[in-house]
């Protein structure tokens, strides 16, 4: 597989200088179709942080079954609206005063963008922006979707710590307080079950935690939705849930009106252990060999693209073609050069290209101004990343 992959990518990018980033369009489109199949008719919102290429966001949105974007920055959301996106849900809270004021002044953006909130301090800023700009601003309540096991002080928290809002009562009180604020409207609620969506099905314990989380959240999510609607006196426009790893289980809950996915379009290495879907890697980057420092070793130029998260080997990029190559434990993915070792070195010469996969999807594109879109052995198009368009949002 790796030899065929490398030969195909080499042919498609022949003459292009490295380091370079590539997306396999056949795999990207197959992944999009698989996400739609798993969502079973529930609309899929594109998580832009896991793409960071406007052309690819648009390609996903053009796929029947996808609708709307989940942005990670308010400035990004405003930029996307300027470029034609008419439905943007913020995935995270913002305290960017200037961007909030811009949102409040722009009637089209205020209608298109929904802020994420879970604390009065965020709501205060949104209300001031609405008052200053004269346009109502919509908000979505971020509900903690973690699994809590135990009672009293002996509670085990399984999942990430995103929001202080966990119970239906907490959501109801907060929603009622927001609904009383002039200039604000509660549009929806979001549940991101990271302990389901963000963990591979690596062992029996993880799978058991996932099953328990899905059962508990299915019960609690419906109660939260009912409580928020009672508090506001209005039906919610959206109930968002899930991620690429939990599209199927999230979409199966009748309370959910939409799911979110982004990494599942590109399938980085952190998604290789999932059993809920067939991983089809679509994103690669290529580095050229510049040294052969000794028997069994080769050195490629560039490559220090380490993913966020805990500083473990799982966050390092992985060489995939030619086969038989690994990073060296002493240097890993280097700042300006990446040493490689293994049986695959025997077939390498100075000037040969080595292909890697990143641990996360969109993050690597902060290091590249453009992405080459290939189909088979043909380069179909080269498009800018966010960075290539002069945009970096964090």
Q: Quick: pLDDT tens for 376-389.
A: 999 999 999 999 99
- pLDDT band, very low/low/confident/very high, at 215 (cuts 50, 70, 90): confident
> What DSSP state is assigned to residue 295?
T
What pLDDT score does 1 carry?
42
Q: Are strands 353-357 and 318-321 parallel, antiparallel or unpaired?
A: antiparallel
When pLDDT is averaged across residues 201-229 and rounded to a whole number, the result is 83
- Find out whether 382 and 371 touch, Cβ atoms under 8 Å: yes
- Lookup: tokens for 62: 């053009």
- pLDDT band, very low/low/confident/very high, at 213 (cuts 50, 70, 90): confident
What pLDDT score does 154 carry?
60
When pLDDT is averaged across residues 286-291 and rounded to a whole number, the result is 98
What pLDDT score does 120 carry?
97
When pLDDT is averaged across residues 320-333 and rounded to a whole number, the result is 95
Residues 6+ apart with CB under 8 A from 77: 69, 71, 88, 90, 109, 113
Q: Are strands 370-375 and 353-357 parallel, antiparallel or unpaired?
A: unpaired
Greater pLDDT, 294 or 207: 294
When pLDDT is averaged across residues 210-214 and rounded to a whole number, the result is 76
What pLDDT score does 228 carry?
98
pLDDT at 74 over 80: yes
Could you give the CA distance from residue 369 to residue 350 in angstroms, rounded to a whole number?
Answer: 25
pLDDT at 198 over 80: no
Could you give the CA distance from residue 90 to residue 96 in angstroms, rounded to a whole number?
Answer: 13
Q: Please provide residue 330's backbone torsions phi and psi, each rounded to the nearest 5 degrees.
A: -80, -35
What pLDDT score does 150 carry?
62
**CATH no. of 25-266:** 3.20.20.10
- Lookup: tokens for 249: 């289980």
pLDDT at 185 over 80: yes
CB-based burial of residue 313 (10 Å sphere; 0-12 exposed, 13-18 middle, 19+ buried)? Answer: exposed
CB-based burial of residue 272 (10 Å sphere; 0-12 exposed, 13-18 middle, 19+ buried)? Answer: middle
Mean pLDDT value across the chain:
93
pLDDT at 158 over 70: no
- pLDDT band, very low/low/confident/very high, at 27 (cuts 50, 70, 90): very high
What pLDDT score does 3 carry?
54
pTM of the full predicted structure?
0.93
CB-based burial of residue 244 (10 Å sphere; 0-12 exposed, 13-18 middle, 19+ buried)? Answer: buried
pLDDT, tens only, 87-116: 999 999 999 999 999 999 999 999 999 999
When pLDDT is averaged across residues 171-199 and rounded to a whole number, the result is 90
Across-strand partners of 241? 191, 259
When pLDDT is averaged across residues 49-74 and rounded to a whole number, the result is 98
pLDDT at 2 over 90: no
Instruction: Please report, for the chain, the start and end positions of each structural domain, with discontinuous segments joined by +.
Output: 2-19+282-384, 25-266
CB-based burial of residue 108 (10 Å sphere; 0-12 exposed, 13-18 middle, 19+ buried)? Answer: exposed
Segment holding 117, helix H or strand E: strand 113-117
Percent of the chain beyond pLDDT 70? 94
pLDDT at 119 over 90: yes
Residue whose pair of structure tokens reads 């979707």 in the numeric block: 145
When pLDDT is averaged across residues 327-337 and rounded to a whole number, the result is 94
Q: Are strands 20-24 and 370-375 parallel, antiparallel or unpaired?
A: parallel
Across-strand partners of 139? 115, 186
CATH architecture designation of domain 2-19+282-384: Beta Barrel (2.40)
- Lookup: tokens for 94: 């913002």
b/e code 346-378 from CB counts within 10 Å (16+ = b)? eebeeeebbbbbbbbbbbbbebbebbbbbbeee
Could you give the CA distance from residue 96 to residue 93 in angstroms, rounded to a whole number?
Answer: 9
pLDDT at 221 over 50: yes
């Amino acid at each position: 597989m790796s030899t065929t992959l490398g030969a195909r990518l080499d042919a498609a990018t022949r003459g292009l200088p490295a380091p370079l980033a590539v997306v396999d369009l056949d795999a990207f489109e197959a992944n999009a179709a698989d996400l739609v199949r798993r969502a079973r008719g529930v609309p899929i919102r594109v998580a832009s942080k896991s793409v960071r290429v406007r052309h690819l966001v648009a390609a996903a949105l053009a796929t029947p079954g996808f609708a709307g974007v989940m942005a990670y920055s308010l400035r990004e959301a405003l930029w996307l609206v300027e470029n034609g996106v008419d439905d943007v849900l913020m995935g995270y809270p913002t305290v960017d005063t200037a961007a909030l004021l811009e949102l409040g002044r722009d009637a089209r953006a205020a209608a298109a963008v929904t802020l994420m909130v879970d604390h009065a301090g965020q709501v205060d800023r949104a209300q001031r922006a609405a008052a200053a700009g004269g346009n109502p601003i919509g908000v979505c309540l971020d509900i903690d979707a973690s699994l809590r096991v135990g009672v009293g002080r002996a509670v085990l928290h399984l999942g990430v710590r995103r929001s202080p809002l966990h119970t239906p009562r907490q959501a109801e009180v907060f929603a009622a307080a927001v609904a009383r604020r002039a200039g604000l409207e509660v549009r929806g609620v979001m549940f991101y079950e990271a302990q389901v969506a963000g963990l591979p099905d690596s062992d029996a314990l993880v799978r058991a935690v996932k099953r328990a989380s899905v059962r508990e959240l299915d019960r609690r999510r419906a109660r939260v939705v009912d409580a928020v609607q009672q508090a506001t006196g209005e039906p919610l426009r959206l109930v968002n849930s899930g991620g690429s790893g939990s599209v199927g289980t999230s979409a199966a809950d009748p309370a959910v009106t939409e799911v979110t996915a982004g990494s599942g379009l590109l399938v980085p290495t952190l998604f290789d252990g999932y059993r809920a879907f067939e991983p089809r890697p679509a994103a690669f980057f290529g580095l050229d060999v510049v040294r052969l420092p000794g028997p069994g070793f080769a050195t490629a130029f560039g490559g220090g693209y380490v993913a966020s998260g805990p500083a473990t080997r799982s966050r390092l990029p992985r060489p995939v073609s030619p086969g038989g190559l690994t990073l060296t434990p002493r240097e890993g993915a280097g700042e300006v050069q990446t040493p490689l070792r293994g049986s695959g070195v025997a077939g390498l010469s100075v000037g040969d290209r080595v292909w890697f996969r990143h641990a996360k999807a969109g993050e690597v594109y902060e290091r590249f101004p453009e992405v080459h879109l290939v189909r088979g052995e043909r380069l179909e198009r080269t498009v800018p990343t966010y960075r290539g368009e002069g945009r970096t949002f964090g």
